[in-house]
Structure 1
């Protein structure tokens, strides 16, 4: 098979989490695509523009200098990152129209019609899991063959967007390796300057919360081989000096058996690793008898998506948890020396002052070590979108749809009032005597470091969010949520049903194929 030059681009992301901290984590999604392509013999390179703000012109110059056959775009912050990807991809197409542009991720998977109609320079969109689909697409391109028969793709055919049948789920996640050699590990850190990577033990989530698209995107929960995953993390520590593992899983603990096997395998590797991630409070309560293994394996913090302190709201969004379980999980984690970060979501339709006051009282009763308040952000592919489709949109800038900005109007609260409550709750929780003691005086050195690092980030993010609020544009009488996400050209869109043929596509634009 001819060897292609493939360039992976991680664009500069506008989100607060990318721009404020000095720490940056590697783009796991692109590395997961890069490994199989390298193993297929292609020449692959990564440009990570998220390490520092990079002007579009500089990115295009780097693309032209490398002279690739294919440029692959993707980003973990898919919705808010799309405008940046769109700008860079269009600039690359203008500079080098012979280069094939491939785009993957959650946002293009669900918005493939709009992307193809407004960005016709995109050669193909990889829908869903990308490892095998991208390999097959690149193989077809290398052999100058049409790819319209391949599952998991969307593209233009005679000016009309079409999508092939969904690609089969990857059954064996260990069949595709991460292309760690594409990065310089010394440039990536987390947890206050500690060398770090993002890793993924599992994909998906067995729960069906209405606001989340994990279940829809990944289809079903799957996990890697626990022993092989532990061995990979240990190698990264021994050979690359990696100290922190940030688990990208939505719910790595879904299977107690698999998670316990991983913890035991990592403990057997005897490496000094720090693990942070997110899980469900119910899993922590379920694992009360093995939480000592969590800590022994290196788990130092788990984010618990509490979402709300109101039982009726939890039931409506199908969270599958209770306030009693949430409170118990936090206490269990503390008992075992593991930091709890509680996330709560605001911006629901009928919230009023009394709801924020209840939230503050409940969070104080929960007594989490850290807290993060997010804004309800109904993406179009979630059931929550249909529930909220008639609500008024107040944030027209898609780059702000990152859970850290209020995007929908609430009936009883002006945006400034919501912000005041959010900042007040955060300050009240983090400035409690208990929280201050845990941050500055507790004897456990590792926990003290974690608390101080998070507090230092908060001191930078907190005023940044307030200043940004007054600088950003909001609209009073914006379109409905449904109208906001259906602003596309009035052109017919065709989707190819499974098993039906489509018109054969010509060979894609390529630069000097061998």
Structure 2
């Protein structure tokens, strides 16, 4: 079959503001196995430009595809864009098979199949093996009901087949790196870059996380094979920056140490960036020199809040003392720390923001990433937020960088004021500016200056968006806006509790 993988231009600030673009790992991960199955596969990346809808559709159609797959960009805020492009493709070629995968469609398959007739099928959960089986069924004309891990439209409405098995061997499917021109993709201020995954999932129980249940359980690649693949990308394609997409790559200290030691032995000059938990950094204090020697330059630490009561409510499982110690240890070993801090919890007041700012300053992170709390219907946190009022009904804005929920004691403009004040206070304090200007490590100095330049562009952009985008004064509740909670289906590759009770996870018909 002739297959086009489409990465639509995402509306999120992180896609539109930077000059750098990273390759869509999810689509490449599906593309590799499809190429190995002897399909003719092409990637169309609409992020560059960004491409206008008409031009994107024309480029897809120029390949004369039998099927078009939307994957990695299947997020909440990206869905309206995908829906627009998919409908245009269907009008141009009514016989075209349109397949949609990713986190958002995995859980919202009922609504999508009901409201968007141009979608042929939805891949639920991991896509490598499921996409292979679905394309084989399309090519042979066999019934979709025989393909695990998908949803499709039957004669009596949307159906979901039994969950696909969790991929136990992540090395069994290769990433289709040949689908991209590596020279087009960069990060860290123009350095050639890729996105990779050492592991999938997370063993922790943070109740707001939209990713943990998607992967069902934590697994990792063979650390030696993985390290050698990164070295090959550097030697053969000139890749300089490796951006880890893992939620928590450092869960297994034993496997992680083997990866670090193997990469060090490869003697490649790589810059590694990614996310992990503060308690893993504290646990690994004795091997942090290996982190640095392997090339780690920055870790994003999901602190979420500096309030212990809030951390308990969202089941973060961390502690403020651990967060502070992790930042200290990273600095001691020459690794930058980026602290994420989430605002917009229902009961927050001016006093909470002031206390949080003082706590963040005491942590002394190198960088900060401010986010707004954003509930997902398939997470346990959704139930806690179901009665809150929605103030942003444009789903393209549900990207963590726009206020979407009303707070009880704070008007939206006041939340924004604190949001921007905290950013400035943390990033522009004398100690932080001194690091940006005079850090003794030239590489880290470059990284901090690049991030500061991005911040100067994002800061006014977010304010302009707030002033331009109308907010709803008395909007629907979260439950009215998104529907009933779905936490029973949080683990995308497991049977629901109801199905386990009756001893089956077989095809079911669910009204949307």
TM over 0.5: yes
Aligned match of 2:334 in 313, 337, 359?
337
Using a 3 Å threshold, how does the CA distance of structure 1 residues 183 and 449 change in structure 2: closer, same or farther? same
Per the alignment, residue 206 of structure 2 pairs with: 209
Aligned match of 1:386 in 368, 383, 387?
383
Provide the rounded CA distance (Å) in 2 between the counterparts of 1:502 and 1:205. Answer: 28
Provide the rounded CA distance (Å) in 1 between the counterparts of 2:137 and 2:335. Answer: 49
Q: Tell me, yes or no, if structure 1 residue 231 matches structure 2 residue 228.
A: yes
What TM-score do you get using the length of structure 2 for normalisation?
A: 0.95
Deviates more, 1:70-79 or 1:303-312: 70-79
Provide the rounded CA distance (Å) in 2 between the counterparts of 1:75 and 1:55. Answer: 19
Aligned match of 1:221 in 218, 221, 225?
218
Per the alignment, residue 284 of structure 1 pairs with: 281
**Which runs of structure 2 are paired with 1:79-158 in the superposition (5 Å)?**
79-158=76-155
Task: Give how far 1:173 is off.
Answer: 0.1
Using a 3 Å threshold, how does the CA distance of structure 1 residues 387 and 343 change in structure 2: closer, same or farther? same
Contact 2:162 2:507 in 1 (8 A): no
Contact 1:75 1:81 in 2 (8 A): no
Per the alignment, residue 316 of structure 1 pairs with: 313
Aligned match of 1:194 in 191, 194, 203?
191
Per the alignment, residue 348 of structure 2 pairs with: 351
Deviates more, 1:406-415 or 1:60-69: 60-69
Unaligned stretches of 5+ in structure 2? 485-495
Using a 3 Å threshold, how does the CA distance of structure 1 residues 499 and 331 change in structure 2: closer, same or farther? closer
The Cα RMSD (Å) is: 1.3
Task: Give how far 1:19 is off.
Answer: 0.3
Per the alignment, residue 37 of structure 2 pairs with: 40
Q: Tell me, yes or no, if structure 1 residue 164 matches structure 2 residue 161.
A: yes
- Other structure's SS at 2:404 match: coil
Per the alignment, residue 14 of structure 1 pairs with: 11
* Cα deviations by residue, 1:269-308 (Å, 9 ceiling, x for unpaired): 1000000000000000000000000000000000000000
Provide the rounded CA distance (Å) in 1 between the counterparts of 2:376 and 2:141. Answer: 37
* Cα deviations by residue, 1:10-30 (Å, 9 ceiling, x for unpaired): 000000000000000000000
Provide the rounded CA distance (Å) in 1 between the counterparts of 2:270 and 2:426. Answer: 29
Per the alignment, residue 295 of structure 1 pairs with: 292
Per the alignment, residue 508 of structure 1 pairs with: none
Contact 1:276 1:301 in 2 (8 A): yes
Task: Give how far 1:486 is off.
Answer: 2.6
Provide the rounded CA distance (Å) in 2 between the counterparts of 1:328 and 1:39. Answer: 46
* Cα deviations by residue, 1:142-173 (Å, 9 ceiling, x for unpaired): 11211212110101001501101110000100
Per the alignment, residue 454 of structure 1 pairs with: 451
Task: Give how far 1:77 is off.
Answer: 5.9
Per the alignment, residue 254 of structure 1 pairs with: 251
Provide the rounded CA distance (Å) in 2 between the counterparts of 1:388 and 1:214. Answer: 18
Aligned match of 2:364 in 363, 367, 371?
367
- Other structure's SS at 1:80 match: coil
Contact 1:191 1:450 in 2 (8 A): yes
Provide the rounded CA distance (Å) in 2 between the counterparts of 1:437 and 1:102. Answer: 50
Using a 3 Å threshold, how does the CA distance of structure 1 residues 390 and 366 change in structure 2: closer, same or farther? same
Using a 3 Å threshold, how does the CA distance of structure 1 residues 500 and 359 change in structure 2: closer, same or farther? closer
- Other structure's SS at 1:198 match: strand
What TM-score do you get using the length of structure 1 for normalisation?
A: 0.94
**Which runs of structure 2 are paired with 1:268-283 in the superposition (5 Å)?**
268-283=265-280
- Other structure's SS at 2:145 match: coil
Contact 2:160 2:508 in 1 (8 A): no
Using a 3 Å threshold, how does the CA distance of structure 1 residues 42 and 412 change in structure 2: closer, same or farther? same
* Cα deviations by residue, 1:113-164 (Å, 9 ceiling, x for unpaired): 0000110111100000000001001111111211212110101001501101
Provide the rounded CA distance (Å) in 2 between the counterparts of 1:280 and 1:499. Answer: 34
The runs of at least 4 consecutive aligned structure 1 residues that moved more than 3 Å come to 495-503
* Cα deviations by residue, 1:51-76 (Å, 9 ceiling, x for unpaired): 22212111221222111000001234
Task: Give how far 1:502 is off.
Answer: 7.1
Contact 1:106 1:128 in 2 (8 A): yes
Contact 2:389 2:405 in 1 (8 A): yes
Unaligned stretches of 5+ in structure 1? 488-494, 504-514
Deviates more, 1:142-151 or 1:358-367: 142-151
